[in-house]
């Protein structure tokens, strides 16, 4: 088939588990050029790209479900140098009036891109953040399964025969689990024997999930520190909070145009709720709720332990703000701080190895440095070994050590 050499094409893809349906439009006129189906394999991705390029110069492709069924196709097209646009599902009202089919959805995806209604760059899902997200998914389910097993163990113990309950009475829960794991089989009647066996299996499951979550936390913490040391060093940010925020930003955080866009993505942007003489904003109920929960966790930690945040809460409370309004303001501030840490991290972040080298060069103990900067030896030792991340404390320690180093050099020169 002959195609005009100057024709520009916009593609749209309706993604599914086994087959992707693609549609092509003329970018200049919006005329429908064709529709075709391709398998969700590497060969199918190649054929889809060749089909679109065979119709003219490919400008961009709108892909539905880039976080699920369309993830593989999105990665392939980006590797081929094709600009991919993330497309939401068609509007429900339009579907009711115009009907639904896979070719119609593919054509609607292309028209959403062509009209400018869809303009979001999808997450690339090809770097360390995607690895962190995969680990976080497993950790989240492991924690829920552990909680469920603990509740089942406690509920089963309440109704267990007296001979079973007496063996665990008065023990801490961890000791109950340890003893139940060591129980032998074949004691008592059917009820006692099977109840003991059930408690033993639950105790073993809880122990396995404890080990699993510990392994996952170690891997998540190491990868999060590697992906964004500046984020891990913020006050109130731990491995799982960092993982949720990094997953929201993706491996290509530059796709977000501003910190306001990141705040909206996290559901932390202010929503007007004014009426008449009342002028106020309310909490946002949209956005990525796991990222919003991460911001909430940071705010809670700072409200309890950070002096500057506590002073801000006291001042805003005196102004008549409600706790929810104060928390909304704090979450918006934290979103700005997180965005800057992810997209524009400072280049002079202190490292644990640097602090340790400065301290040993001055022949100082951990206690001496801690007394000067106002922390504990355990925390400073964790920073030096890379197990604890606290940018403000690390900067304070480095500044003090550099001043002592300058004083020692001046004394040596004199």
pLDDT in tens, 232-273: 999 999 999 999 999 999 999 999 989 999 999 999 988 888
In the chain, the number of structural domains is 4
Q: Are residues 265 and 316 in the same domain?
A: yes
Higher-confidence residue of 406 and 283: namely 406
Higher-confidence residue of 18 and 96: namely 18
pLDDT at 99: 73
Residue 170 lies in a domain: yes
Residue 78 lies in a domain: yes
- Domain boundary among the residues 74, 94, 115 is at 115
pLDDT at 347: 85
Q: How far apart are CA 326 and CA 336, in angstroms?
A: 16
**pLDDT bucket at 107, cuts 50 / 70 / 90:** very high
pLDDT at 348: 84
Residue 122: which of 196, 160, 172, 70 has the closest Cα?
Answer: 70
Q: Are residues 356 and 271 in the same domain?
A: no
Mean pLDDT for the chain overall: 91
* C-alpha to C-alpha distances, 203 to 154, 172, 181, 210, nearest whole angstrom: 11, 14, 6, 11
Q: Are residues 256 and 332 in the same domain?
A: yes
Q: Are residues 320 and 270 in the same domain?
A: yes
CATH at 373: 1.10.260
Q: List, for residues 21-45, the tens digit of each pLDDT value.
A: 999 999 999 999 999 999 999 999 9
Q: Are residues 91 and 147 in the same domain?
A: no
- Domain boundary among the residues 191, 206, 227 is at 227
pLDDT at 175: 95
**pLDDT bucket at 213, cuts 50 / 70 / 90:** very high
Q: How far apart are CA 330 and CA 137, in angstroms?
A: 27
Structural domain for 391, as ranges:
352-413
**pLDDT bucket at 229, cuts 50 / 70 / 90:** very high
Residue 233 lies in a domain: no
Q: Are residues 283 and 304 in the same domain?
A: yes
Residue 122 lies in a domain: no
Higher-confidence residue of 286 and 335: namely 335
Q: List, for residues 190-210, the tens digit of each pLDDT value.
A: 898 999 999 999 999 999 999
Q: Are residues 135 and 219 in the same domain?
A: yes
- Domain boundary among the residues 303, 320, 343 is at 343
Q: Are residues 56 and 102 in the same domain?
A: yes
Residue 241: which of 336, 128, 136, 125 has the closest Cα?
Answer: 136
pLDDT at 4: 66
């Amino acid at each position: 088939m002959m195609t005009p050499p100057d024709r520009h094409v916009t593609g749209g893809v309706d993604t599914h588990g086994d087959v992707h349906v693609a549609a092509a439009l003329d970018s200049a006129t919006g005329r429908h050029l064709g529709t075709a189906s391709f398998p969700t394999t590497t060969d199918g991705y190649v054929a889809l790209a060749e089909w679109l390029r065979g119709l003219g110069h490919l400008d961009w492709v709108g892909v539905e479900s880039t976080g699920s069924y369309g993830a593989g196709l999105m990665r392939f097209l980006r590797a081929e140098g094709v600009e991919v646009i993330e497309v939401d599902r068609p509007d429900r009202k339009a579907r009711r009036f115009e009907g639904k089919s896979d070719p119609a959805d593919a054509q609607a995806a292309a028209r959403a891109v062509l009209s400018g209604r869809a303009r979001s760059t999808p997450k690339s899902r090809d770097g360390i953040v995607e690895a962190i997200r995969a680990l976080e998914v497993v950790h989240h389910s492991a924690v829920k399964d552990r909680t469920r097993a603990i509740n089942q163990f406690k509920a089963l113990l309440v109704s267990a025969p007296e001979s079973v309950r007496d063996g665990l009475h008065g023990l801490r829960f961890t000791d109950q689990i340890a003893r139940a794991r060591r129980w032998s089989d074949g004691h008592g009647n059917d009820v006692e024997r099977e109840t003991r066996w059930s408690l033993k299996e639950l105790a073993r499951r809880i122990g396995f999930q404890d080990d699993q979550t510990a392994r996952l936390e170690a891997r998540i913490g190491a990868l999060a520190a590697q992906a964004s040391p500046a984020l891990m060093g913020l006050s109130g940010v731990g491995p799982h909070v960092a993982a949720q925020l990094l997953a929201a930003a993706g491996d290509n955080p530059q796709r977000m145009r501003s910190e306001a866009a990141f705040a909206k993505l996290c559901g932390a942007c202010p929503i007007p709720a004014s009426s008449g003489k009342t002028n106020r904003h309310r909490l946002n109920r949209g956005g990525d709720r796991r990222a919003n929960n991460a911001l909430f966790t940071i705010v809670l930690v700072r409200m309890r332990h950070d002096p500057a945040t506590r002073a801000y809460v006291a001042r805003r409370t005196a102004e008549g703000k409600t706790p929810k309004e104060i928390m909304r303001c704090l979450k918006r501030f934290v979103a700005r701080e997180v965005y800057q840490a992810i997209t524009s991290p400072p280049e002079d972040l202190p490292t644990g190895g640097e602090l340790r080298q400065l301290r040993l060069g001055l022949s100082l103990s951990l206690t001496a440095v801690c007394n000067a900067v106002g922390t504990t030896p355990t925390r400073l030792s964790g920073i030096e070994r890379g197990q604890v991340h606290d940018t403000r404390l690390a900067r304070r320690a480095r500044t003090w050590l550099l001043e002592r180093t300058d004083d020692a050099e001046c004394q040596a020169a004199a």
